[in-house]
A and B are shown apart, each in its own frame.
Chain A
């Protein structure tokens, strides 16, 4: 079945480092992918919509230059947190529409980012 693979699952790095998170659709193509952020004990909030071959659409309040999104192929979207700081520590989850009626969207397993 349609699966979304997210990598890495856990990242710990120093402040000022840039971190890249990958979201891959396996066995299906995704022209659109969504990136969510989840703070501890809170809900998931949409950060941006990743569009294959074009610029991402960011939600209000999300810094485009801080969270760089690249959707270079029909199966891969990347989120790069540039010059990460401790306040960027969070759980990041991607999702992709599958086109399947039984599971219209599939979520990745998430990436826990910890900035020291």
Chain B
């Protein structure tokens, strides 16, 4: 079985400060990993993904994440956040890109002016 854990349900951070949103996963087979952002009353927007290759992946809006197989982690980072980054962030995995996604419980990022 597969699962995704996002330990931090809420992360407040001051504007222009760095942020890291943590994601750990569990799977007995190889996985593909994703980060999505969801603004209030909207759908999911893909931030970045790890399918293969370089373990450091860069996404939109200045976000990046590093796949660490030994620690089964895929933490999301941004060196300097903006007010507009305030949103809900979901880590997700799938074992096959045509299969269902398994989502973490989400992390609410609040950027404080």
Q: How far is the CA of A6 from the CA of B49 in the complex (A)?
A: 23
Q: Which residue of B lies closest to A102 (CB)?
A: B49
Asked whether, in the complex, the Cβ of B43 is within 8 Å of the Cβ of A6, the reply is yes
Please tell me which stretch of B15-23, B62-70, B101-109 contacts chain A, meaning at least 4 of its Cβ atoms lie within 8 angstroms of it.
B101-109
Interface residues of A in 40-54 (CB under 8 A from B): 41-46, 49
Q: Which residue of A lies closest to B106 (CB)?
A: A43
Any B CB within 8 A of the CB of A60: no
Any A CB within 8 A of the CB of B84: no
Which of B41, B49, B108 is close to A112, meaning CB atoms less than 8 Å apart?
B41
Q: How far is the CA of A105 from the CA of B49 in the complex (A)?
A: 11
Please tell me which stretch of A12-20, A65-73, A82-90, A93-101 contacts chain B, meaning at least 4 of its Cβ atoms lie within 8 angstroms of it.
A93-101
Give chain A residues whose Cβ lies under 8 Å from the Cβ of B101: 34, 44, 46, 95, 105
Give chain A residues whose Cβ lies under 8 Å from the Cβ of B97: 97, 104-105
Asked whether, in the complex, the Cβ of B100 is within 8 Å of the Cβ of A43, the reply is no
Asked whether, in the complex, the Cβ of A103 is within 8 Å of the Cβ of B46, the reply is yes
Q: What bracket does the count of chain A residues touching chain B fall in?
A: 20 to 34
Count residues of chain B with CB under 8 A from any CB of chain A.
22
Any A CB within 8 A of the CB of B98: yes
Any A CB within 8 A of the CB of B51: yes
Which of A6, A32, A43, A101 is close to B103, meaning CB atoms less than 8 Å apart?
A43
Q: How far, in Å, is B60 (CB) from chain A's closest CB?
A: 12
Asked whether, in the complex, the Cβ of A109 is within 8 Å of the Cβ of B43, the reply is yes
Q: How far is the CA of A41 from the CA of B41 in the complex (A)?
A: 11
Q: How far, in Å, is B39 (CB) from chain A's closest CB?
A: 11
Give chain A residues whose Cβ lies under 8 Å from the Cβ of B105: 42-43
Residues on A close to B: CB < 8 A?
Answer: 6, 32, 34, 36, 41-46, 49, 93, 95, 97, 99, 101, 103-105, 107-110, 112
Residues on B close to A: CB < 8 A?
Answer: 32, 36, 41-44, 46, 49, 51, 90, 94, 97-106, 108
Q: Closest 9 A-B residue pairs measured CB to CB?
A: A104-B97, A109-B43, A97-B98, A110-B43, A107-B44, A43-B105, A43-B103, A44-B103, A46-B100
